[in-house]
Structure 1
Amino acid sequence: MAEDKKTDDYTIEMDKMDQGNKNFEPPPPAPQARSPSGPSIANNPIFAVLSYCGSSILMTVMNKYVLSGSDFNLNFFLLCVQSIVCITAIRTCKAAGLINFRDFSPDEAKKWFPITLLLVGMIYTGSKALQFLSIPVYTIFKNLTIILIAYGEVLWFGGSVTGLTLFSFGLMVFSSIIAAWADIKHALESGTDATAKVSTLNAGYVWMLINCLCTASFSLGMRKRIKLTNFKDFDTMFYNNLLSIPVLIVLTFCVEDWSSANITLNFPPENRNSIFFAMVLSGLSTVFISYTSAWCVRVTTSTTYSMVGALNKLPIAISGFVFFDAPITFPSVSAIAVGFTSGIVYTIAKIKQNSKPKTGVLPTSNNPPVSASSQSMRDSLRS
């Protein structure tokens, strides 16, 4: 599934997990194999950051590859395959002693199930939006989720929004407007089937709006539930994927078309193996993202991790131009630049906000601020 398996308290919880045990560190090499000239790869911040960025790009590109076919309509099946692959991978890693997470508990599963339903809605609407929109536009519009989460925190958790944060929100909205205008302008100037292309874009924007609402609901709901269960990252991943499998199986067989003709349409013989490989790889990338995120937090700082998340927007958007021939125009490039800037401004605003008492903010709250910002959730929920 999408990187949606992390929480707002992610950076803090992963630090605690790492202090309690070394599940995220591979077994130390033999003394004679350790290079005396520098730190090992496991403790190298550059490798950690590059691995995190690479896993984020990998998931987005693989999902877009599967969904880019105009005839693909088995979205629930795609999500089900990703969940099964993820569960298989993390159980294998646990058996090998590489990671650790809680054993299944029916009582905890019952309490967590509503969160899983929100997750299914979030990932499904995200896959539909990505099916109709290009990766750059999808990435830019995903920023709007930050605004919803931030004000959800103000209402439900006593958070606050500073003037600089509001400025970053303005940049996010502005970049989304530019991106939509660039897409529609390109569709109208493309000549043939301009009306059909605009209708496709409109469908993508509607799915994107629903996805932003679902993402914010999932993020805030999961944050509240995690405070009660004290789940770590792999606990969250385990329950989210395991509980979503039966839901997705029911949905795919009840809602989607499993006729022989439609299966051939979705998986043409000439591309069938590559599509299945991309599905499996996108499921594995869920584990990669979680592992590399924890690795990045452990060997750097939460601030560095947040900045990496903001900077990572640029290569993800560029991947759409490189791998899927997204239209390269001055408005589209401008939208990416403004969206990229908004992410950096937002991260700086959160760093400043967390480094001093909350005074003179808009809007204000008398409640004490929460211990972790929504930046980690925004970063993790990128598709």
Structure 2
Amino acid sequence: MNVARAGPGLVFCIFFIVSYFTNKYVLSVLKFTYPTLFLGWQTCTGTLLLVVTGKLGWVEVKGFTRSAAVLWLPGSVLFLGNIYGGSKALSMLPIPFFFVLQNVSEVVFILIIRVTQRERSSWMKLFSQVLVLVSALTLILHNPQFGPNAYGWATVHLFCIGSYRAFQRNSKSSHLRLCLRTFFDTEFTQINIQFQSLFISFQINV
């Protein structure tokens, strides 16, 4: 019984780790250091999967109002900052370093919830978050060779992750289904990345 319960979690962990190693390979080895094209096809694939599964009736991507979509816009902006900053940081940092810094997003989330909702956390939880923060700061101080650019993008990434989670919890559009939020996020990211790609192409041609 315990093995059956642990199965989906194990599969998720495997796919999670493989996806990061794949992203690292594409960003570092294949030199997609400016990740507009890389993120473009990723978000395009996500959007197409949602549309196809919606047509097949597996998920429902209808039944939302325009006001709900507008209210969710800050979440889509944070999602864009999350994947863009994460891709830039991952292209410059080793995967173990990236994971250590990414854990700080939980600290950002707890701080925002504590300020906005006056929610108190247990001492054990606060102590664990302090350890996460100290480990990340120690890592940065003892490994300056990656430079402020890598750590700067990592900061953008973890801040956007924590803020996105807090926005999901506090937003008036939190009643939107997960598939709808994902659809809005991928569409918004795809449109913005396409504009960036066109701007870069124009600058190169000029």
Residues 104/245 of structure 1: CA separation in 2 closer, same or farther (3 Å cut): farther
Residues 144/96 of structure 1: CA separation in 2 closer, same or farther (3 Å cut): same
- 1:240 alignment partner in structure 2: 185
Residues 98/82 of structure 1: CA separation in 2 closer, same or farther (3 Å cut): same
Offset of residue 162 of structure 1: 2.1
Offset of residue 242 of structure 1: 1.9
1:171 aligns with 2:171: no
1:201-216 → structure 2 map (5 Å cutoff): 201-216=147-162
- 2:196 alignment partner in structure 1: 251
1:46 aligns with 2:6: yes
C-alpha distance in 2 between matches for 1:147 and 1:178:
16
Offset of residue 214 of structure 1: 2.4
- RMSD after superposition: 2.6
C-alpha distance in 2 between matches for 1:217 and 1:256:
32
Offset of residue 213 of structure 1: 2.3
After superposition, give the CA deviation of every residue in 1:147-174 in whole Å (9 maximum; x if it has no partner).
1110110111231122111210221123
Query: Structure 1, unaligned stretches of length 5 or more?
Result: 1-37, 185-197, 261-383
- 1:219 alignment partner in structure 2: 165
Query: Structure 2, unaligned stretches of length 5 or more?
Result: none
Residues 258/65 of structure 1: CA separation in 2 closer, same or farther (3 Å cut): farther
Offset of residue 138 of structure 1: 0.5
C-alpha distance in 1 between matches for 2:201 and 2:164:
24
Residues 114/170 of structure 1: CA separation in 2 closer, same or farther (3 Å cut): closer
Whether contact under 8 Å (1:109, 1:243) holds in the other structure is no
After superposition, give the CA deviation of every residue in 1:159-204 in whole Å (9 maximum; x if it has no partner).
11221112102211232244335544xxxxxxxxxxxxx2x44321
Residues 162/72 of structure 1: CA separation in 2 closer, same or farther (3 Å cut): same
TM score, norm. by length of structure 1: 0.48
Structure 1 or 2, whichever has the larger Rg, is 1
Whether contact under 8 Å (1:132, 1:201) holds in the other structure is no
**SS of the counterpart of 1:68?**
helix
C-alpha distance in 1 between matches for 2:151 and 2:53:
38
Residue identity over aligned pairs, in percent, reads: 21
Whether contact under 8 Å (2:79, 2:185) holds in the other structure is yes
C-alpha distance in 2 between matches for 1:133 and 1:201:
10
Structure with greater helix percent? 2
**SS of the counterpart of 2:60?**
coil
TM score, norm. by length of structure 2: 0.85
Paired AA for residue 74 in structure 1: Y
1:127 aligns with 2:73: no
Offset of residue 256 of structure 1: 6.4
C-alpha distance in 2 between matches for 1:257 and 1:128:
22
Q: State the aligned residue count.
A: 204
Residues 44/92 of structure 1: CA separation in 2 closer, same or farther (3 Å cut): farther
Paired AA for residue 153 in structure 2: W
Of structures 1 and 2, the one with the larger relative CO (CA 8 A, separation 6+) is 1
**SS of the counterpart of 1:72?**
coil
Whether contact under 8 Å (1:77, 1:252) holds in the other structure is yes
Paired AA for residue 111 in structure 1: L
